[in-house]
Amino acid sequence: MKPAILYEHEGVTADLSKVTRLYPAALIHAAGERASVSLEWAELKEEVITLECYVLICDFDPVGEVPVNRIEFHYPTKESLFDAMHEIARLVNA
């Protein structure tokens, strides 16, 4: 069993040793819908969407299954999202 690698942000904690997928996204509003989209897509469509925040998504279900067990960490800026990604890389590679 892998030792726990805990990451905490705004009172939410995830055990990174159990994450099966970890990826950044942008949480947007467009055409009355709310969705998580790629950072690249959000930048391309910035004229027609409303950006709510940046998100780091941690899925815990086996790859290939529909992700049901998920934790999302929210960040106000892309820079704070990237800072979190660097911190997670540091924790995982320690």
E strand segments, 3-86? 6-9, 12-15, 21-30, 33-37, 50-59, 70-75
Share of the chain above pLDDT 90, in %: 79
- pLDDT tens digits for range 43-63: 999 998 999 999 999 999 998
Q: How confident is the model at residue 39 (pLDDT cuts 50, 70, 90)?
A: very high
SS3 63: coil
- Which pLDDT value is given to residue 22? 94
What's the pLDDT score for residue 30? Answer: 80
pLDDT at residue 67 is higher than 90: no
Residues 46, 22: Cα–Cα separation, whole Å? 24
Of residues 77 and 29, the one with the higher pLDDT is 77
Tell me the Ramachandran region of residue 31: left when phi exceeds 0, alpha when psi lies from -120 to 50, beta otherwise: left
C-alpha 86/C-alpha 23 separation (Å) is: 13
